[in-house]
Amino acid sequence: MERTLIIIDSREQEAFSFDPLRVSVERRALPAGDYSVAGLETRVAVERKSLADFVSTVIRGRKRFAAELERLRSYPRACIVLESSLADIFGRRYRGGADPASVFGALLWIMVDVGIPVIPCGDRQAACRFTQDYLLRAQRRCHEEAERSRPDPTTTETNP
């Protein structure tokens, strides 16, 4: 069985370790997100965020992050994977004075207004598993869609 090639953005600081029996990895710059699949770099993306990074990004770096979200929004399949839970947000299990309601409001803004799913996975291990399986499923779906859109070679059209 051929392993899927997952691309990890070269700027990703804390890259996930995926199952080497299922995927291989390559590091290079991605146009958006931290993870993608070879050949689908402009169609499939996962943006990884630790809770500390998410809070800092949506509270202090919102303008820059909004530009990143616009790029992700153009992808048929994109999401943000959060290495924490909603309980971590509401329990203020992060540094800084950001109000949990503001952090949660930013999460809802991304999901509802921008239209990108944010998946609070609970912890890093679950986020890694989710990311790997999301990328594999997205790859399969993209290939199925490409197959359906190909013309059937058994039928020929003739022009009068």
Question: Residues 14-55: pLDDT tens digits?
Answer: 999 999 999 999 999 999 999 999 999 999 999 999 999 999
C-alpha distances (whole Å) from 51 to each of 141, 147, 154, 156 are 30, 39, 53, 55
Position 47 in a domain: yes
Give the single-character DSSP code of 37.
Answer: E
Q: What is the pLDDT of residues 67-115, one digit of tens each?
A: 999 999 999 999 999 999 999 999 999 998 899 999 999 999 999 999 9
Please give the full DSSP string across 139-151, using - where no structure is assigned: HHHHHHHHHHHSP
Position 23 in a domain: no
- CATH number of residue 121's parent domain: 3.40.50.10130
Position 115 in a domain: yes
Domain region containing 66: 40-140
